[in-house]
Chain A
Amino acid sequence: MKTSLPAIRPPIAPGVPSGGGPEFLTTKLDLLVQWAQSNSLWPLPFGTACCAIEFMSVVSSHYDLARFGAEVVRFSPRQADVLIVAGTVVDKLAPVLRKIYDQMTEPKWVISMGVCACTGGFYRAYHVVQGIDEIVPVDVYVAGCPPTPENLMYGILLLQEKIRSGELARHRESKTFVPIRVGEDPKGTIPAYSQAVMAPHTKAGPMPVMGDTAEAEAELERKGAKP
């Protein structure tokens, strides 16, 4: 007895139909590469603080990042293509982050996980980088303190979409990357990360303390902040 089941073929790449077609496909090379890249992201978790704990939750069994093809966590920058900065980055750590980013091979992407990595969060303080985009270019910002696992997974899905769309949102060569908040260095003698870290040296004013607003105002007046 002969049974013939039709072979089930999943869609190979965007725009390529599945089913019992011929044994070849036609597509654009770009599309094929983007499809492959987006579905096998190898993250390097630059986990520093609370967000790293949530990242561990995302890769462990309950949330199972393997469903999106991004579970192969690599701690060597040479083997990774998406840098997930999970947690606060402080000034002392800034050169380290920049170095790791520089060591990653192209193509590479950066996800900034959590508000500390995005903006410094509620640490408006003397030793905290106010957003990692001072140091490295960021592709996807994931908000939350820390983001829920669903939130991070959505961020990864957004990154996949971005890769598939072929969008280039930044300069690919890290040497020519110009940080958003650039300091004053017209000759360009200082490496990019130092320049970036140096930028927010402008003094943030003293934060008014609740309950002492009248005093805080008086102090501002004394310092000449009042026109």
Chain B
Amino acid sequence: MSALPPGAKGRVPACAPLLTRRFPANVWIEARPDADIPTISVPDPGSLLEVMRFLRDDPGTAFDLFLDLAAVDRSMLRAPVGPRDGNRFLLNYLLYSVKRNEHLRVRVTVPESPAVLPTVVPIWPAANWFEREVWDLMGVSFSGHPNLKRLLTHNGFVGHALRKDYEAGQRWLCTEEDLLPTQLAALTDAEEDVFETTTVNFGPSHPATHGTLRVVLRLDGERIVAAEGECGYMHRCFEKMSETHNYQQVIPFTDRLNYCSPMLNGNGYVRAVEDLLGVAVPPRAVAVRVILGEFSRIMDHLVCIGTNLVDLGALTNFWYAYQPREEIYSLIEACSGARLTISYVRIGGLAADVPENFVEWCRSLLPKIRARMADVDGLISKNRIAMKRMRGTGVVSREDAIAWGFTGPCLRASGVPFDVRKDSPYDIYGELDFDVPVMTDGDNYARYLVRMEEMRQSMRMIEQVLAKFPSGPIITDDYRVALPPKEMVYNEMEGLIYHFKLVFEGIKVPAGDIYSYTEGANGELGYSIVSDGSGSPYRIKVRPPCFPLFAAFEKMVPGGMISDAVATLGMLNIIAGELDR
């Protein structure tokens, strides 16, 4: 059940002949039989820009969406990953072609000194913050980058935290001066002499940011002239922490990435590990994951819409949106024992079985959600004030949305029907009948409508899974991965040994690396995992869907009013835990 989409395994990129013809020496095609996604490597960083430009522009490749940049410090890696040239850092560029629906990984290695690569920001603007993050945490710099400074940690930080020789607990003093955005000086342009502009600090503790985000705005009256976003106020070191825990222990950390829909994060993570292990998940566990995952998506969208409408002055909707959430919480609590941070998934299945009345309970929830959604719909969708606030504000064109690396509802609101559940189906999404809502306006109203429709589609999916809800075990019987049942542990020698090995050593995941992607509530949620064969991950890099959204925020708001910026920020649905990790 957990296998990759059909045809994806061992696939060489469809553009491979094109690449070998165009770059006979500068591109190596990786043809591992167990490859997760098509992979190429560029042995000579000098030709990186040329290759990348070709990958984006040629109609036969057309990788126009920049997904992620995952850097690995290979200095302590026992198993080889990537080209064996002895270079310390391996960078994986993850690209996606909207036109051809294909993922691609481009590997480049960099020596420890000089750890410099040419920047790809002119090719994909979305790469801007990804490269800054790599510079901040891994210490690989990018020549020609427009604004290469620390992103997640503060200015008083010394060293690069994700390098293997950096100790996980080493902290550095942060004073108020370290928070001043130095870039603001660059915003002071010639206009300041003509118009009287003011600089306003927005966040990190502000009711409309719904989290610890910070934006510095330069205003001409109420109109925004320039903006600069800053993140890192919730950088909880998830990636470093995951390196010091074993695979099962990482699950609670994933719950706290996007805490509005923890089930989706957990599912994405365990799928990645299961794919590395090659473990099959029982159908009942998959069905529960899909049902609770879609309920989580509904919860996430409800938070987004409810809190954003509070900012627009429509407080009543907040109560309407929160009531179904409480109902869903009760269901999730009955399954997992916790309301919010549930840790319900396990590698190979689920932590516990669902309650006996699960199917009826789920069914009874759907009309309640529909009723409250109808309330919000009736109050807002044709409301003149709401439409004035949302229509035509925060507009993102189709081209911009792709260039800025948008995925999920925000991309679909700009007219690109890309949904991982549809385009490379995982779990049982391939068997379900559902539609992908798409709007072409690209404004806040389109994002609102797409989210509303997605909730309806989620409920459709839940109904279909409930109609064929399978029985059987909820976790795999592969005892190298899942704990054996207690009767076996107490009565049989092998059971005891399995139990002992799992508890003390953790799951031994075969060496290799993987990029596994699912559809999170905000877009493509990807996990790049590098394993060296030991019990804990060597490196985990999350591709948070919010990250490119917030990076583009500073380009979306200039020209509009402050109040429009609030509506836009709410409708992008930035979750700080996921943004900063």
Cα-based distance from A194 to B534 in the complex (angstroms):
39
Cα-based distance from A126 to B156 in the complex (angstroms):
12
Chain B, range 18-71, C-beta contacts under 8 Å to A: none
Given A93-B212, A210-B535, the answer on whether A48 and B303 have CB atoms closer than 8 Å is no
Contact: A48 with B576, CB < 8 Å? Answer: yes
Out of A57, A92, A124, A212, name the residue touching B169 (CB < 8 Å): A124
A157 in contact (CB, < 8 A): no
Binds A, one of B105-113, B172-180, B417-425, B426-434: B172-180
Number of interface residues of B (CB under 8 A): 64
Binds A, one of B1-9, B199-207, B435-443: B199-207
Min C-beta distance of B295 to chain A, whole Å: 15
Given A92-B233, A93-B204, A128-B237, the answer on whether A60 and B318 have CB atoms closer than 8 Å is yes
Complex interface: chain A residues within 8 A of B371 (CB) = none
Cα-based distance from A124 to B171 in the complex (angstroms):
10
Contact: B244 with A92, CB < 8 Å? Answer: no
Out of A100, A126, A212, name the residue touching B168 (CB < 8 Å): A126
Complex interface: chain A residues within 8 A of B236 (CB) = 49, 88, 90, 123, 125, 127-128
Contact: B244 with A207, CB < 8 Å? Answer: yes
B323 in contact (CB, < 8 A): yes
A-B pairs with CB below 8 Å: how many? Answer: 177
B368 in contact (CB, < 8 A): no
A75 in contact (CB, < 8 A): yes
Could you mark each residue 49-62 of chain A with 1 if its beta carbon is under 8 Å from any beta carbon of chain B, else 0? Answer: 11011101100111
Out of A95, A128, A210, name the residue touching B245 (CB < 8 Å): A210
Cα-based distance from A140 to B326 in the complex (angstroms):
26
Min C-beta distance of A217 to chain B, whole Å: 14
Contact: A50 with B256, CB < 8 Å? Answer: yes
Out of A93, A126, A148, A200, name the residue touching B161 (CB < 8 Å): A126
Q: Which of B307, B505, B577 has the most CB of A within 10 A?
A: B577
Out of B153, B170, B171, B341, name the residue touching A145 (CB < 8 Å): B341
Cα-based distance from A61 to B318 in the complex (angstroms):
9
Contact: B167 with A210, CB < 8 Å? Answer: no
B322 in contact (CB, < 8 A): yes
Contact: B207 with A75, CB < 8 Å? Answer: yes
Contact: B233 with A211, CB < 8 Å? Answer: no
Contact: A92 with B154, CB < 8 Å? Answer: yes
Given A54-B339, A62-B323, A125-B241, the answer on whether A48 and B173 have CB atoms closer than 8 Å is no
Cα-based distance from A97 to B204 in the complex (angstroms):
10
Complex interface: chain A residues within 8 A of B329 (CB) = 57
B246 in contact (CB, < 8 A): yes
A122 in contact (CB, < 8 A): yes
Contact: B234 with A90, CB < 8 Å? Answer: yes
A99 in contact (CB, < 8 A): yes
Contact: A95 with B244, CB < 8 Å? Answer: no
Cα-based distance from A200 to B205 in the complex (angstroms):
25
Q: Which of A61, A90, A123, A148 has the most CB of B within 10 A?
A: A90
Contact: B534 with A209, CB < 8 Å? Answer: yes
Given A90-B235, A211-B534, the answer on whether A126 and B204 have CB atoms closer than 8 Å is no
**Residue in chain B with minimal CB distance to A198:** B173
Contact: B246 with A211, CB < 8 Å? Answer: yes
Min C-beta distance of B316 to chain A, whole Å: 10
Complex interface: chain B residues within 8 A of A203 (CB) = 167, 169-170
B548 in contact (CB, < 8 A): no
A180 in contact (CB, < 8 A): no
Could you mark each residue 21-54 of chain A with 1 if its beta carbon is under 8 Å from any beta carbon of chain B, else 0? Answer: 0000000000000000000000000111110111
How many chain A residues sit at the interface, stated as a range, is: 35 or more
Out of B237, B260, B323, name the residue touching A61 (CB < 8 Å): B323
Min C-beta distance of A96 to chain B, whole Å: 6
Could you mark each residue 188-205 of chain A with 1 if its beta carbon is under 8 Å from any beta carbon of chain B, else 0? Answer: 000000100110110111
Min C-beta distance of B438 to chain A, whole Å: 29
Could you mark each residue 6-20 of chain A with 1 if its beta carbon is under 8 Å from any beta carbon of chain B, else 0? Answer: 000000000000000
Given A92-B232, A127-B236, the answer on whether A50 and B168 have CB atoms closer than 8 Å is no
Q: Which of B173, B211, B255, B534 has the most CB of A within 10 A?
A: B173
Cα-based distance from A100 to B506 in the complex (angstroms):
43
Min C-beta distance of B480 to chain A, whole Å: 13
Given A50-B340, A126-B240, the answer on whether A91 and B154 have CB atoms closer than 8 Å is yes
A206 in contact (CB, < 8 A): yes
Complex interface: chain B residues within 8 A of A204 (CB) = 167-170
Contact: B205 with A127, CB < 8 Å? Answer: no
Main secondary structure of the interface of A (DSSP, over half): loop
Cα-based distance from A57 to B423 in the complex (angstroms):
35
A111 in contact (CB, < 8 A): no
Cα-based distance from A206 to B259 in the complex (angstroms):
28
B319 in contact (CB, < 8 A): yes
Cα-based distance from A145 to B206 in the complex (angstroms):
23
**Residue in chain A with minimal CB distance to B230:** A92
Given A93-B212, A209-B246, the answer on whether A56 and B322 have CB atoms closer than 8 Å is yes
Out of B233, B245, B259, name the residue touching A50 (CB < 8 Å): B259
Complex interface: chain A residues within 8 A of B237 (CB) = 123, 125-128
Could you mark each residue 199-222 of chain B with 1 if its beta carbon is under 8 Å from any beta carbon of chain A, else 0? Answer: 000001111001110000000000
Could you mark each residue 68-111 of chain A with 1 if its beta carbon is under 8 Å from any beta carbon of chain B, else 0? Answer: 00000001000000000001101111111101100000000000
Out of B153, B240, B255, name the residue touching A92 (CB < 8 Å): B153
A146 in contact (CB, < 8 A): yes
Contact: B204 with A210, CB < 8 Å? Answer: no
Chain A, range 144-163, C-beta contacts under 8 Å to B: 145-146, 148
Contact: A197 with B169, CB < 8 Å? Answer: no
Out of B161, B178, B206, name the residue touching A75 (CB < 8 Å): B206
Complex interface: chain B residues within 8 A of A207 (CB) = 168-169, 244
Min C-beta distance of A23 to chain B, whole Å: 40
Cα-based distance from A73 to B260 in the complex (angstroms):
21
Complex interface: chain A residues within 8 A of B179 (CB) = 92, 95-96
Contact: B340 with A91, CB < 8 Å? Answer: no
Min C-beta distance of B426 to chain A, whole Å: 26
Given A49-B256, A207-B168, the answer on whether A125 and B240 have CB atoms closer than 8 Å is yes
Contact: A126 with B166, CB < 8 Å? Answer: yes
B325 in contact (CB, < 8 A): yes
Min C-beta distance of B242 to chain A, whole Å: 11
**Residue in chain B with minimal CB distance to A50:** B259
Contact: A209 with B174, CB < 8 Å? Answer: no
Complex interface: chain A residues within 8 A of B161 (CB) = 126-127
Complex interface: chain B residues within 8 A of A95 (CB) = 174-176, 178-179
Cα-based distance from A198 to B157 in the complex (angstroms):
12
B195 in contact (CB, < 8 A): no
A-B pairs with beta carbons under 8 Å apart, 12 shown:
A48-B234, A50-B255, A56-B303, A62-B326, A90-B235, A95-B178, A124-B168, A126-B168, A128-B237, A198-B173, A204-B170, A211-B536
A residues whose Cβ falls under 8 Å from a Cβ of B: 46-50, 52-54, 56-57, 60-62, 75, 87-88, 90-97, 99-100, 122-128, 145-146, 148, 194, 197-198, 200-201, 203-207, 209-212
Given contacts A50-B259, A210-B506, 10 further A-B contacts (CB under 8 A): A50-B577, A61-B319, A75-B205, A96-B204, A125-B169, A126-B170, A127-B153, A148-B339, A210-B246, A211-B246
